[in-house]
């Protein structure tokens, strides 16, 4: 799976989790004011924690992209350069 696909999968999972949590809150047997407060609080907490998920995901995908580019360059260089690709991995 490429880095871009991994990031998209993680993003979709996070979005689904958030939507599921909102649906659960909306369907819970609480008064509307309590539910709205709970949604607002959850949103603020999630927004504050997004960097804990997004930054490592970006770092991981950039590392995969760099290795892929290096392997592509080594492939173009020919079989005599194959040893350096194995060392990089």
Domain boundaries, the chain: 3-88
Average pLDDT for residues 73-85, to the nearest whole number?
62
pTM: 0.32
What is the length of the chain? 89
18: left (phi over 0), alpha (psi -120 to 50) or beta: alpha
Average pLDDT for residues 67-80, to the nearest whole number?
71
pLDDT value at position 78?
65
pLDDT more than 70, % of the chain:
81
The alpha-carbon radius of gyration of the chain (Å, integer) is 21
pLDDT value at position 13?
92
């Amino acid at each position: 799976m490429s880095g871009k696909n991994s990031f998209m999968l993680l993003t979709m999972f996070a979005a689904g989790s958030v939507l599921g949590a909102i649906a659960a809150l909306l369907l819970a047997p609480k008064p509307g004011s309590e539910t709205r407060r709970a949604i607002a609080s959850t949103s603020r907490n999630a927004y504050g924690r997004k960097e804990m998920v997004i930054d490592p995901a970006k770092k991981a995908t950039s590392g995969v992209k760099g290795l892929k580019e290096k392997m592509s360059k080594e492939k173009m260089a020919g079989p005599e350069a194959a040893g350096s690709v194995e060392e990089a991995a």
